[in-house]
Amino acid sequence: MAAQCPITGRPYYAVTPAAPDVVVIHAGRGDCHGNIALPAERQLSHSLDVILAQACDTVIVTVEEIVSPEVLRARPDLVEIPAFQVTAVVEAPQGAHPTSVLGYYPADDPGIQEYLDATSSGATAREVCGSTEDDYRKQRHSASWRSQAATGRTQGDA
């Protein structure tokens, strides 16, 4: 719907707001109850994850690691998505690859470019990612990323 800005007089278009039902989020750590901790040093994407978790009826969170509830109780200030908002939590180490997880591993820039090149060629998902998680890791984790990820956590550790 076209309208006119009352301040500038310029035209703008209004659309009905999105009403998402389900969101899948990847985070660093959560507990068995579904409490999800975000790093003390946050990125914009973390804020978006919290907003989406609040907006959706079904919230599925994959995490780098499931930790004991005591670990999160020691740093309650890091729990940004509480268990009552979470439908399911699933441990999925390196689940954000080829993008990064603050405090766990950096983005795999060569891996992102390889993925873009492969998907632009018309290859199928199986050709690009492989049939199994092990296939994906062998095909898509660049050598430079593997060496960086092997060093352990990065800044923003909880």
- Residue 4: inside a domain, yes or no? no
Report the C-alpha gap between 112 and 104 in whole angstroms.
Answer: 17
Q: How many CA atoms lie within 13 A of 6 on its CB side?
A: 0
Tally of CB atoms within 10 A around 43: 13
- Residue 3: inside a domain, yes or no? no
pTM: 0.76
- Residue 11: inside a domain, yes or no? no
What pLDDT band is residue 158 in, cutting at 50, 70 and 90? Answer: very low
Strand order in the sheet with 58-67: 79-81, 36-37, 22-31, 58-67, 88-91
51 and 84 co-located in one domain: yes
Number of domains in the chain: 2
Report the C-alpha gap between 93 and 89 in whole angstroms.
Answer: 12
- Specify the DSSP class assigned to residue 97: T
140 and 84 co-located in one domain: no
42 and 103 co-located in one domain: no
For residue 156, the model assigns a pLDDT of: 43
Residue 126 one-letter amino acid: R
Residue where a domain terminates, one of 75, 93, 111? 93
Residue where a domain terminates, one of 93, 114, 133? 93
Residue 150 has phi, psi (to 5 degrees) of -70, -20
- What is the domain extent for residue 73? 21-93
Q: What is the pLDDT of residues 96-146, one digit of tens each?
A: 988 889 889 888 898 888 888 888 888 777 777 777 878 777 776 666 677
Residue among 141, 153, 129, 39 at smallest CA distance from 97: 141
82 and 59 co-located in one domain: yes
Whether 153 has a pLDDT exceeding 60, the answer reads no
70 and 25 co-located in one domain: yes
Q: What is the pLDDT of residues 8-62, one digit of tens each?
A: 999 988 888 888 899 999 999 999 999 999 988 776 777 889 999 999 999 999 9
Report the C-alpha gap between 107 and 28 in whole angstroms.
Answer: 14
The set of residues, in sequence order, having a beta carbon less than 8 Å from that of 48 and lying 6+ positions away, is none
